[in-house]
Amino acid sequence: MRAAWLLLPALAALGAYYVYAPLPGSVSQPWKLMLLDATFRAVQQACHLIHYLRLSHHLIVLNYLIGAFDKLKSVSSEHISITDAVFDGVEVRVFEPPPKQDETLKRSVVYIHGGGWALASARTSLYNNLCRIMAESLNAVVVSVEYRLVPEVCFPEQFHDALRATKHFLHPDVLAEYSVDPSRVAISGDSAGGNLAAAVCQQLSKDEHMTIRPKLQALIYPVLQAFDFNTPSYQQNMNMPVLPRYVMINYWIDYFNGNYDLAHSLLINNHTALDVSQALSFRGRLNWTSLLPSSFKKNYKPVIQTTGKAEIVQKIPALLDVRAVPLLAENETLQLQPKTYILTCENDVLRDDGVMYAKRLENAGVEVTLDHFDDCFHGCMIFTIWPTDFSAGIQTRNSYIKWLDENL
C-alpha cells in the first residue's frame, strides 16, 4: 500500500509532464488545448507503433479510430435534410434547409473538409455539425465533399475528386435540382480542404467551358505552399499543439507519396535552394519579406540555402505544382479569382500561407477579407462540440458564417 502511495504522485507527475506544453500567453483556454494535444500525440504514437510493426498503415488506423468514436449513425436532423449522393463518381453529403414561403432559389456552399488530405470525413460529427449550422444560418444548400484520402490515393487524386464534384454541382441542371441560385455559389474549406478549395477555384477560373463559377471563395487557415518551411509562422509555431511543423511536413510527404527520409531536407529548405533551377522562377511569388506585414515578420530571418538537393524536386515535382501549392500560381491566374475570405490564426504554422495569399490576391486586384485571430490555433473552428469545445471555435465559426451571410 505504501508503494502505491509513492507511485501515484510519480505517475501524476509523469502525466503532467506529458500533457504540459509551453504556450503563448495569448492562447485561449491553454490547459484544454494541452489536453487535446496530449490526446492527439498519444493516439498518433500508438498508430505509428502499429505502422512500425507493419500491422497496418498508421493513417488507416488513425482514421479508423476517428470513425469509431466520431462517425454519426443518423443522416438526418430536425431542421436540415441530410442526404448522401454521388457527384461524378465522388461521394458527397448534401445539407438542405426546408423551403420557405415565397422563396425561389437558395444560396449554396461547396465545402471541402480538412485533415492533411489523409484524415477526417464529411460524415464525422465535427464536419457534420459545421455544415448543418452553415445550412441553417445561411439558409443555404451545403455540399460537403467526401474526397478519397491518403494512403488509398495520393496527389493529384484528392484534387481531382474535389474538382469533379464541384464541376458536377455547378452544372445548371444539378443546381436546378437543388433549387440553387447559379449566381450565389461559394467554394470553401479548412486546412487541407482550404488548399483543395483554392486549387479548384483556380482551375475553374481558367476553364473556358465553365458557364457557372463560384461567386466567392472562403479559405479557413489554408495550407497553400510547400516551398518554404521557415516562414515566420513556421518558425514561431514550430512546436505549437495540433499542428507542429514536423507533422505538417509529414502530411506533405504522405500527400506526395514521398519518403520520410526527405523530412529534414524539406525542413531546412534544401528543395528550394538557390542552385535548384526548378525553384528559381517561383521564388519571387513567395517572398515573405515583401508579402508579410512587419507585425508578422517580427525579427525572423529567411532560411535560404545556397546549395541544396535538386533531386528532391525531381523525385517529387508536385512540390512546385500549382494544383498542390496554389500560392505559387502566376498573377494571370490570381486576377481571375473571385471575392475572397481568408481566416488565419496567430498560433498556427500556416498563418503566413494565408496572409501571403491574401496579399498576392490583393496585388492582383481581387477583393480580399483577411480575418486574423490573435488568440486562436490551427483547427479551432471545428472544435465546438463537447468535449472538444473551444471558445476559439465558436468565435471563428461565427465570424466566417457572418462574412458568408453578408457576401454570398
According to DSSP, the residues that pair with 370 across neighbouring strands are: 342
Place of cell 507503433: 49
Catalytic residue among 28, 108, 188, 191: 191
3-state class (DSSP) for residue 188? strand
Q: Do 338 and 215 contact (CB within 8 A), yes or no? A: yes
Give the integer Cα–Cα distance in Å for 115 and 100.
35
| CA gap 122, 114 in Å, rounded | 9
Could you give the count of Cα atoms lying within 13 Å of 245 in the half-sphere of its Cβ?
A: 19
Give the whole-angstrom CA distance, residue 131 versus residue 401: 11
**Distance, CA of 373 to CA of 39 (rounded, Å):** 24
Amino acid letter, residue 284: G
Nearest to 76 by CA among 59, 90, 91, 96: 96
Is the CB of residue 137 less than 8 Å from the CB of residue 97?
no
Residue pair 168/87 in contact (Cβ under 8 Å)? The answer is yes
Tally of CB atoms within 10 A around 321: 17
CB 242, CB 379: distance < 8 Å: yes
**In this structure, are residues 117 and 197 in contact, taking their beta carbons and an 8 Å threshold?**
no
Cβ neighbours for 9, distance < 8 A, ≥ 6 positions apart: none
Number of H helices, E strands in the chain: 17, 8
Q: Report the chain's terminal Cα–Cα distance, integer Å.
A: 66
Instruction: Cis check for the bond before 302: say yes or no (omega within 30 of 0).
Output: no
- What are the phi and psi torsion angles at 103 (to 5°)? -100, 130
Place of cell 467551358: 209
Sole residue written with cell 481558367: 206
User: What's phi and psi for 370, nearest 5 deg?
Assistant: -100, 115
Is 108 in the active site?
Answer: no
Residues involved in catalysis: 191
